[in-house]
């Protein structure tokens, strides 16, 4: 377990999602002698009626969390956050797709819901900190400031989703599973006699039933607005069903009859147009970033910073140079080698070896294509 957590009689709140990770986190803290309180968020109004069984935050998940709390003999509270979740996560998600961007709602949920509002609730209950089941690590610098690091399990490391968390909040957050692998977590679940030791992991966006984005957008009043699909030369190749159904790098669902496979390389929301091209046209040399959240001291930043950058969760970090803009919250990132499908709306997270330096949002792909 994370060695930064010392045995204590302090009160600690655990964000219990109803999954094995957060349940083991709570069980281990109880075993260490902490005064543990379980908190489960209700985020989505339709959670009880949807059929997506591989998402988190469902009614069944809340019941699983309650059952674990009963097994552990700890107080358990359900915290209603539907309105906050709608405003801070769902509405921006819908708007981003509508303007041709690809959002990452999990990052917004961590930043705005879990590590803002739920942390405040934990503090109101007298908790010294909020613990979660994330696979990441927090260590203290020589100046006693929190630093974020990758989890030791490279297949489960979730530091990418945490880079937008304000550094001040990291002082009140703990990730006990950061030094463990998923297999070790499941073995601990069996050790603690938790009924969900073999529960499958949640996947997909938790609030989109069965991953059906089209139905979700229709339900929220977004009508399909068909428009042209054009090649890099401007030639009309087909018609799309609505730009909210597409993302950079997408090949499936275009319905094009072309000599070679075509991919979405740009989305022009103003003209309601998809631009497609061959796979090599997806390569980009860099990106313009905004909303950068730094997890290191700003006075140590040079105008141009050598780092490793990760442009999506499933991509490995790659070497890049970040040149800061007019403020430290803006910058231009140039990769040492071209990268595939740099996507506006996605997060770009910075690393130096295993430490997370910070992260921002991709505003523009500095691609190599030229539209005629």
Residue 355 is encoded by which pair of tokens?
């430490």
Given 56, 57, 106, 109, the catalytic residue: 109
* Dihedral Cα 316, 317, 319, 320, nearest 10 deg: 120
**Catalytic residue status for 123:** no
Evaluated on CA atoms 44, 45, 51, 57, the torsion sign reads: positive
Catalytic residue among 56, 57, 106, 206: 206
Neighbours of 337 (CB within 10 A): 9
In terms of phi and psi (left: phi > 0; alpha: psi -120 to 50; beta: otherwise), the region of 104 is beta
> In sequence order, what DSSP letters do the residues of 288-337 get, joined into one string?
EEEEEEESS-GGG--SEEEEEEESSTTSPPEEEEEEE-SSTT-EEEEEEE
User: Which residues are CB-neighbours of 336 under 8 A, at least 6 positions away?
Assistant: 318, 319, 320, 321
Cα separation of 370 and 368, whole Å?
A: 7
- Tokens standing for 96? 């981003």
Residue 106 catalytic? no
Closest by CA to 144, choosing from 163, 115, 170, is 170
List active site positions.
109, 206
């Amino acid at each position: 377990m994370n060695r930064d957590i010392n045995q204590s009689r302090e009160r600690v709140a655990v964000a219990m999602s109803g999954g094995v990770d957060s349940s083991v986190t709570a069980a281990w803290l109880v075993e260490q002698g902490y005064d543990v309180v379980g908190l489960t968020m209700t985020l989505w109004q339709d959670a009880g009626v949807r059929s997506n069984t591989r998402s988190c935050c469902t009614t069944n998940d809340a019941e699983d969390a309650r059952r674990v709390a009963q097994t552990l003999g700890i107080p358990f509270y359900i915290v209603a956050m539907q309105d906050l979740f709608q405003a801070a996560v769902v509405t921006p998600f819908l708007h981003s797709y509508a303007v041709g961007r690809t959002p990452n709602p999990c990052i917004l949920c961590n930043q705005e819901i879990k590590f803002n509002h739920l942390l405040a609730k934990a503090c109101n209950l007298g908790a010294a900190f909020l613990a979660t089941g994330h696979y990441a690590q927090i260590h203290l610098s020589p100046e006693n400031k929190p630093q974020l690091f990758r989890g030791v399990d490279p297949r489960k490391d979730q530091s990418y989703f945490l880079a937008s968390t304000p550094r001040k909040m990291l002082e009140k957050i703990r990730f006990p599973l950061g030094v463990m692998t998923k297999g070790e977590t499941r073995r601990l679940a069996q050790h603690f006699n938790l009924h969900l030791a073999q529960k499958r992991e949640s996947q997909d966006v938790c609030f989109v039933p069965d991953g059906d984005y089209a139905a979700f957008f229709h339900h929220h009043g977004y009508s399909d607005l068909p428009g042209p699909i054009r090649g890099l030369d401007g030639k009309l190749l087909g018609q799309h069903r609505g730009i909210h159904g597409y993302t950079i790098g997408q090949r499936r669902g275009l319905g094009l009859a072309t000599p070679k496979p075509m991919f979405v390389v740009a989305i022009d929301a103003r003209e309601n147009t998809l631009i497609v091209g061959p796979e090599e046209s997806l390569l980009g040399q860099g990106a313009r970033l905004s909303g950068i959240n730094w997890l290191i001291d700003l006075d140590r930043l040079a105008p141009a910073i050598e780092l490793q950058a990760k442009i999506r969760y499933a991509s490995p970090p790659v070497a890049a140079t970040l040149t800061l803009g007019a403020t430290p919250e803006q910058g231009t990132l140039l990769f040492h080698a071209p990268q595939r499908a740099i996507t506006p709306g996605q997060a770009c997270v910075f690393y130096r070896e295993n430490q997370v330096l910070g992260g921002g949002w991709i505003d523009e792909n500095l691609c190599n294509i030229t539209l005629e």
